[in-house]
Structure 1
Amino acid sequence: MRALINVFKIQDLRNKILFTVALLIIYRIGFHIPCPGFNIDAIRAAVGARDTESPWSRAAQYMQIFTGGTLDNSTLFGLGVMPYITASIILMLLGEVVPSIRKLRQEGQVGYRKIQEYTRYLTVPVCIIQSIMYIRILGGMGVVYPGMYTQAVLFGIIGMTAGSMFLMWLGEQIDEYGVGNGVSLIIMAGIVDRMPWAIGRLISQIDFTGSGQGVGVAKLVFLLVAFLAVVAGTILISQAQRRLPLQHAKLVRGYRMYGGQKSYIPLRVNGGGVMPIVFASSFMMFPPIVVDSLRRFWPESRILMVMSDSLHYGAFTYNVLYMLFIFVFAYFWVTVQFQPKEWAKNLRDSGSFIPGLRPGKRTADYMESVMMRINYYGAAFLAAIAIIPTLVSYWLGIDPRVSNFLGGTGLLIVVSVSLDVVQKIEAGLLMHSYEGFSQAGRIKGAYT
């Protein structure tokens, strides 16, 4: 409590926090501004009557994580920051195959700003493409006011593109003048905003009579214990790291000796963060949709029927493939992001080395082998977190939209972003000679 009071005693830190909160409030207010030409009541009625177990419904529920709402909220901020994230991932992957982008990544802060500029430009066409797909889905529901289809499509594309670009600008303002990562905070705000609905939905299903029709006392206790255990495990894996010892070379200048200190290189166990689940979930959306579309042309095909049952959400085959792709993308992401040869080169140029290893190839091979080993445990934890909502939903009969708060992408984002914000606030406290939040030591963020 004392640390929390000290936060608001520091004017600079207080202003940053209030500025961040104000922009997040603007985001949530703007999220309720509807797109012109669409009947919101008709959209909610159509969405409420759809099959929640269909592949399209599952894909829409997954997109809610990044858009901050549901399909029945056809607003100017309906796309959220998903186009910006898509553009960032595209440029990140292109950096591995396009030499000019790879060179920019090696130029430090100047190159980073240039890549950010390219990301903004790429976000615009991505916004247009995603808004067209979004509006086509709504148009197929018959929710456009009569005689306004062309105007609704035009204004919807322009409005959603402008809304996403405005959210991108809000995120950049938070990065510069607020606390934490702006885009991550916007995503987290959308996830947390749905939590009261999930809690209310769970409360409405509680049954204390023991009739077995709803959520009994035993199930409720299990859900609470499981939620706390998953949150604790997520915090643990977000902060877990393998420290490689590092020895700095000694320098003699005149009669004095400099350097020679010992430090370490922190290698995160969960090096990919939430991205392996994001990639695996995105990839697993398409096979059920493709099979479902083919069954409309060949409804009597037994092969398509078996494939549809195998790829159904909750099926054993689906979850095994889901976990497998999480492992694949976890190693893929670490391979893209972690460059042991560059690390070894930088260590050699700075006169530092890992004790017992020669600088250069030996050091790079050792760092790569260590990273591959610890990444296995990070990928295993991500796979376990990803399937917990499915297990809870099917074994306990809980609404999937409620069980999703027990694991998966949403929980990882909330925990990681919260740790990062707390770490940055604590850094501000320590900089002004105040105590941090923990007397045992500094809180480590998800990105430190």
Structure 2
Amino acid sequence: MEVGRQLIIPVVNLNSATAVLAKNRALQFFAYATGGQMNAPTLLSLGVAPYMTAKIIWSIVSMVDQEATRHLTERTQNLIQRGLTLLFAIAQAIQMAVMISKTMKPIKLLTEFDSTIILITVLVAGAMLVVHLTDLNIERGIGGAVLLILPTVIQNLPNMLENGVNTSDHFIFTVRSSIFLVVATLLFLVVTLFIYRGERRIEVQRTGIINTYGKSYLPIRVLPGGAMPFMFSMSIFVLPTYLRHESIDGGAFANYLVNTLFSYHTLSGILTYCVVVCLLGYGFGYMNFQPVETAKTLKESGDYIFDVAPGRDTERYLTSRLMRMIFVGNCFLVLVTAVPLIIGLYKPGYGNLSFFFSGLFILITILDNIFDQVNALYLKGQYELV
């Protein structure tokens, strides 16, 4: 992944393309969270974003129309997901090509249009190569798809802190600010690890299993959506601003709304950003736990929750418990998101802590997943016969 992110596509003027891409800080932050490289056009500039987006869209479709998707073979589902990944990769490649269209350089026997086609083709090919690497790691490695995001997040954490979404947002390192940063980071790590591992355990009666060693339970995490709200919140929040910069002008009133409601430098904009994070928290949390499918699985296996009827009642019970946990988790996400941004309104540069903590949270979830898998592999052969 790291080698592929350094292979420059030689159909553009590198200095000019880098200068153009550097202006879109929000797009770069999104690339940091999805294993991409938006500082320059490279083979793996798109990262894992097309793959992750396709997985999310397919999960939503599967939840909406479970009867239709259940009858599809695994091969057919994989082909559909690959097709969606290809479409999203083409869309993102075209977006990047449009952004740096004025930096294309004609090569011998090739026109600027030919160079643009080559750029889009290489970007899409790189995205599909990432899909292949992801499949290999899921099958034979550890960490799953998110492992490919790890190098980018680690490498760009300092950049998230030092340079904000706007070019004027810089965190200045002084003795006082450095001490504040260390204390805030340590506090954030302790609280995040505690909350991320927190879960509500619902006891389940297993009718087909006699277990004398402990009770069976169904866990619902405080943060069932994991780091996904942070990964996608920025790209959604800055979309209106990006469209305006691309000469899609809706008039003075529309520009006023964009400047007010979609800015990190106004209270209403911070509130809008928090709303986006919360909505993504509910969406990803519901999608990851899937109470409807869980209730159906319990009913089909003959298992049940004590004092709750199988079927619809179990579904409503699980949904209500899930919504409560997501609400608690969203309160934490809003706290992490809003407090640094509000401080940044009065102390320039401190708003970058919001993006720094978001990247740190993504890093924690990835490492926690890797540690759990390594620990499971280690303990797999440590049990003695009883």
Shorter-chain TM-score tier: 0.7 to 0.9
- The answer to whether structure 1 residue 231 and structure 2 residue 180 are counterparts is no
Aligned counterparts, 1:24-423, within 5 A: 27-47=1-21, 50=23, 56-70=24-38, 72-99=39-66, 101-104=68-71, 111=74, 114-140=76-102, 142-145=103-106, 148-181=111-144, 183-195=145-157, 214-249=172-207, 258=210, 262-292=215-245, 301=252, 304-305=255-256, 307-388=258-339, 390-391=341-342, 393-398=344-349, 403=353, 406-408=356-358, 410-423=359-372
Shift of 1:330: 2.4
- Does the aligned pair in 1 maintain the 2:30–2:231 contact within 8 Å? no
Instruction: For 1:412, give the aligned amino acid.
Output: F
Select between 38-47 and 314-323 the one with higher mean Cα deviation: 38-47
Residue by residue over 1:320-369, the C-alpha shift from the partner in whole angstroms, topping out at 9 and shown as x without a partner, is 11212222332233444444344334334434332333334333332222
- Is the alpha carbon distance of 1:296 and 1:115 closer, same or farther for their aligned partners in structure 2, counting shifts above 3 Å? closer
Q: Deviations over 1:207-247 (max 9, x none)?
A: xxxxxx94321211111111122222222222111011223
Residue deviations 1:253-307 (CA, integer Å, cap 9, x gap): xxxxx56873211111111222333444333222223455678685xx3663464
Whole-angstrom CA distance in 1 between matches of 2:9 and 2:339: 36
Residue 426, structure 1, aligned to residue 365, structure 2 = no
Pair 1:383–1:145, CA change in 2 (3 A): farther
Quote the Cα distance in structure 1 between the aligned partners of 2:138 and 2:205: 34
Structure 1, gaps ≥5 residues long: 1-26, 51-55, 203-212, 252-257, 435-448
**Distance in structure 2 (CA, Å) of the matches to 1:57 and 1:325:** 19
How far apart in 2 are the matches of 1:339 and 1:98?
Answer: 13
**CA distance, structure 1, for counterparts of residue 293 and residue 67 of structure 2:** 17
Measure how far apart 1:392 and its partner are: 5.6
How much has 1:188 moved relative to structure 2? 1.8
- Structure-2 separation of matches of 1:179 and 1:98: 31
In 2, distance between residues paired with 1:375 and 1:170? 32
Does structure 1 conserve the Cα–Cα contact (< 8 Å) formed by 2:9 and 2:41?
Answer: yes
Measured in 1, the distance between the counterparts of 2:289 and 2:137 equals: 27
Cα RMSD after superposing both structures: 3.2
Q: Distance in 1 between matches of 2:233 and 2:226?
A: 13
1:72-131 CA deviation, whole Å, 9 max, x = no partner? 3211111112111122122122223345653158xxxx64x5423321222222222211
Query: Residues 382-424 of structure 1: CA distance to partner in whole angstroms, max 9, x if unpaired?
Result: 2222335534654443386x6355322x323211110011111
TM-score (norm 1): 0.73
Tell me how far apart the structure 1 counterparts of residues 316 and 66 of structure 2 sit (CA, whole Å): 24
Distance 1:399 1:163, change over 3 A: farther
Give me the whole-angstrom Cα distance separating, in 2, the residues matched to 1:341 and 1:44.
47
Question: Offset of 1:62 from its aligned partner?
Answer: 2.6
2-structure distance, mates of 1:327, 1:61: 19
**Match for 2:151: what amino acid?**
A
1:225–1:104: structure 2 CA closer, same or farther, 3 Å change rule?
Answer: farther
Amino acid across the alignment from 1:161: V
Report the Cα distance in structure 2 between the residues aligned to 1:278 and 1:175, rounded to whole angstroms: 20
Q: Which moved more, 1:274-283 or 1:125-134?
A: 274-283
Task: Quickly say closer, same or farther: Cα 1:214–1:238, change in 2 above 3 A.
Answer: closer
Equivalent residue number for residue 167 of structure 2: none
Q: Give the greater-gyration-radius structure (CA).
A: 1
Alpha-carbon distance in structure 1 between the residues aligned to 2:277 and 2:138: 30
Which amino acid is 2:373 matched to? K
Q: Could you tell me the percent identity over the aligned residues?
A: 24
**2:43 partner SS:** coil
Amino acid at match of 1:96: M
2:336–2:354: 8 Å Cα contact kept in structure 1?
Answer: no
Gaps of 5+ in 2: 165-170
TM-score (norm 2): 0.84
| AA partner of residue 178 (structure 2) | L
- The answer (yes or no) to whether the contact 2:223–2:285 under 8 Å persists in 1 is no
Give the secondary-structure state (helix, strand or coil) at the position aligned to 2:34: helix
Assess if the C-alpha contact under 8 Å between 2:34 and 2:49 holds in 1: yes
Query: Does the 8 Å contact 2:340/2:350 carry over to 1?
Result: no
Could you say if the C-alpha distance between residues 297 and 318 of structure 1 is closer, same or farther in structure 2, counting changes exceeding 3 Å?
Answer: closer
Q: Which shows bigger deviation, 227-236 or 262-271?
A: 227-236
Conserved? CA contact 2:143–2:373, under 8 Å: yes
AA of the residue aligned to 1:343: T
